[in-house]
Structure 1
Amino acid sequence: MATHLSYLERGELIVEGEGVRVRDADGRWYLDARSGFWNVTLGYGHQGIIEAVRSQVTRLPYGSMWGYGRPTEIAVDYASALAEVLPEGIDHIRFQSNGAQAVETAVLLSRHLRLLEGRPHKNAVVGLWGGFHGFGPGASAITGLSYLHHHAGPLLPDVMHTRAPHGEEGDAATNMEGALRRLLDHGPDRISAVVVEPVIGEGGHVLTSEQAAALSAFCDEHEIHLVVDEVTTGMGRTGDYTRSARLGLRPDMLLLGKGITSGYAGLSAVCLSSEVYRALVEAPVERFFATGSTHDGHPLALAAGTAVLDALADGKVFAGTRARGATLAEGLRELSERHPAVSAVRGTGLMYAVEFSENAARDPWFVNKVRLALEERGVLVAVLNAVPSLMIIPPLVVDDADVEEILGGLDGALGDLASGWEPADETKGFV
C-alpha cells in the first residue's frame, strides 16, 4: 500500500534523523515535534541505544517468547529491570510487539479470567470516548472514535464507551461521577474491564488524582479489571516512568509501548499485578491463555529497551521533560490569548493538544492547513481526528531553543492563515 506516494514527491520522503530533527530527501531539516509517531522519546541517533542494538544483533539476533519454554536471557533481565520502575504491585511482564496488540491481549486476558472464575456473563469492556488504543479488531473497538467503528467490522463485540471525565472543565469529581454513572446503568456485574489512558490521547484531557482515586475505587468495589494504557504516557512522556504512579492509580494491568524503546524497535509490554498473574498461572494447564506472535519480545527491541532504562536512570530526562513541558504550556496559553482560532490548550509533560475554535472548525481542513503551515516553517506536528486539534509531542530531549522554535512556528503558522495563506493542497498528508 503506497498511498503516501500519491501525495508526496520523492524529495519529501524522510531519509535521516539526528537529535530532535529529521531531514527529507531534498535536504531540508525539520524539528520533529511529533516524535515520529509519538514514540521517538530520546531523539534520533542516540548512541546508547544504537550500541546496545548493535551488540545484541551480533550475539543473538532472535529468540521466541512463545510459551516461555526457553525465553532469552535478555528478556528475563530486562523484565526484572523494568518491573523495578513500575508502580507497586505491578511485577509480572509479557512482552509483545506494539501497543494495539498489548491492548487486545489485556482485554482478552480479562475475559479469559472471567471464564476461569465461572462468570462468562462478566465480559463487557469499557473505553472512554476520545480515548485512543490503536487499530485492530479489538483495539479499534475500544478506541473511542466512532468513525473507526464504522470503517470496518464487525469489531470485537461487547465493547461500550462512557464519556471522558474532563478534569479541567468544571468540577473533576462531578465529571467522573457522570462517567461512572453510565457503567452503573449498564450493570457493573457485567463489566470485565475498563481501559483508560491517564492522558486521553485524542484531545489531551488529563486525568486528575481525584478522578483516578474514584475510578480505582469503583473498579475495586465491582471487581472490574482496571487496565491503564500508558503506551504513550509511559517511559518519560509525562515526566516519570509512568503517570499511574504519580496519580496513585492501582491498575490490574498496565500497558507500555512507544517510548519503551524510543521507537528504535517494535516492543510493548503487558504488565500484570500479582493477583492477576496468580489467577492466570494457577489455572489448569489445559486452560492456558494463548497469546503472542513471532516477533514478541524481539531481542533487538529488548536491547533497545534496556538502553532506554539506562538513559532514564539518573532522572535528568524526567526533570528536563517537566521543565520544558512547563515552558511549552506557558507559551501555548499565551499564544492562545493572541489567536482567536485557538480555543483550548491541554496536556502535561511534553504532550499538549491545541484545540481550535468552532469558527475555525467550520473549515473541515483547517487543522491540516495549520499543520502544513507549520511544516512550511520547518516544524512537524500531529493532527488529531476526534476534535479539531494539533498534538505537540516532541522528543523528551528538546531544549529551550527547540521549544521556542515550536512556539514561534505555531504563532507564525496561525498568523499566515489569518492573513489568507493557503496550501496548494489542503488535504496533503492528512490521515
Structure 2
Amino acid sequence: MRACHECDWVVVLPALRGGEHATCPRCGHILVRRHFRPAQRSMALAISALIALILAISFPFVSFEARGIGNNIELTQTATSMIGFHQPLVAIIVALTIIVLPAVYLCGVIWLQLGLLRGVPFPFSRGIARSLTHLNPWMMADVFIIAALVSLIKIAGMAQIVLGVSFWAFCAFAILLLMTTRSIDADWMWFSLAGEPQAPKGIRTAETAASQGLAGCSTCGLINEVDESGHGHCRRCGEPLHLRLPHSLQRTWALLAAAIVMYIPANVYPIMTTTLLGQSNPATIIGGVIELIEKGSWPIAAVILFASIIVPVGKILALIWLSLVVRRSNELGASTRTKLYRVTEFIGRWSMVDLFVVAILVALIRAGNLMSITPGPAALAFGAVVILTMLAAMTFDPRLIWDSPQTSIKKQSKETINE
C-alpha cells in the first residue's frame, strides 16, 4: 500500500512489469514507475555520466577570438571566475548545481546499485538513498546547457566561437544524468534495501492516510503510524514524518516574501556590465532583453524573457494564489490546483538560465578594455530569487489542497495502471 504524496489517498499498488507505472486514481500523480533491470540500468547510466563529467572538466570548454585577441575556458572556470569579481556565493551556486551535486548523486547511485547487485548493500546505503531524493531538484546540468547555447549565440556576431571537447562531453553528461535520474525505481530500491514492513493494522484504501492517523513517507513511500502530535519517523528509511508539513503555509509565505524583496534589486541593478572598446554598458535583466530585441535576436530574447521574468513572477503569483485559496472556496477544483502546483515546482529551476549565462560570459569574455564582461550586483540577488522560490514550492504541502472542505471525495478504483 502507498499514500499519494500529493493528495494523501491510500491505494494498493498492483503488480507491475518493466515499462509500466501506477498513478493515483484521485489526483493523477505517478506513484511508481517500473524499469527493466533497474539496478543494471541505473548503474550503467551513472557510470557513463560520471565518465562524461570527468571528460567535461578535463578539457577546454569553449574558446573565442575577436580582433586578434582570444580566450579559452574550462568548465570549472565558469564558477571560479566569479570569485575574482567578489561573487563567491554565485561561484558556489554554479559549482554545486552543475558539478559537485551531480557528481555526488552519481557516486551515490553507483554505490547503492553495486551493493544491490552483489546482494548485500554497502554501509550507509539507506542514508545515501535518502539523500538522492533531496539532491534531485538541485542538479541543473540541463539548464546549464541551455544557458551555454544562449551565451554563444549572444556573442556569435562579435567573435569567432570554437566549441571544445568539454562542451560536447558536458552535453552527453547532461543527457546521461537526466536518464539516470529517470531510471531510478525508488520503490524497488527501498524494497531491495530494507524489505517491505507490514502495513499498519486496520488500514483502509480509498481514504486519506491522515484520516486514519497515518502518514506516507515522501522518501521511500512506506505508510507509517504517527504519534498523537501527528509526527514520527519512517520505520524503513528513518525520514521524519508529518500528517501535514508543520507550518507549511507560514514558511511558504516567508520564503515568497523574501523572494519578492530580492526580486527588486535583481531587476533594478545591472546583472552584468559589457565593456567594448573602452566603453562600459551596464545592463539589467529587462534591459538585456530589450537590447537583444533591438539587435534582432528574438529567439534569445524570448528565452531570457521567459526564464528570467515570466517564470519567477509566474511562480510567485501561482504560489501566492495557491496559499490564499488552499482552505477557502475556490473557482478551480483541487485537481486543477494540484496541476498548477506541479508546473510551478517543475519550472522554477529553469530560471537559473540567466545566472549561468552571466557566469559563462564573465569567464569567456576577458580581453580588458577591448572586450570584457563583468558580473553585476543583480546576479546574486537573482540567484537568491530562484533558490527562494524553489524552497517555497518545496515547503508548500500540496495535500492541503485536498484537505479543503470544498473538496469532494469520490470513491474510485484503488489503482490505475498506465502502460
* Same fold (TM > 0.5): no
Tell me the TM-score normalized by structure 1. Answer: 0.25
Instruction: Select the structure that is richer in helix.
Output: 2
With CA pairs under 8 Å and 6+ residues apart, which has the higher RCO, 1 or 2?
Answer: 2
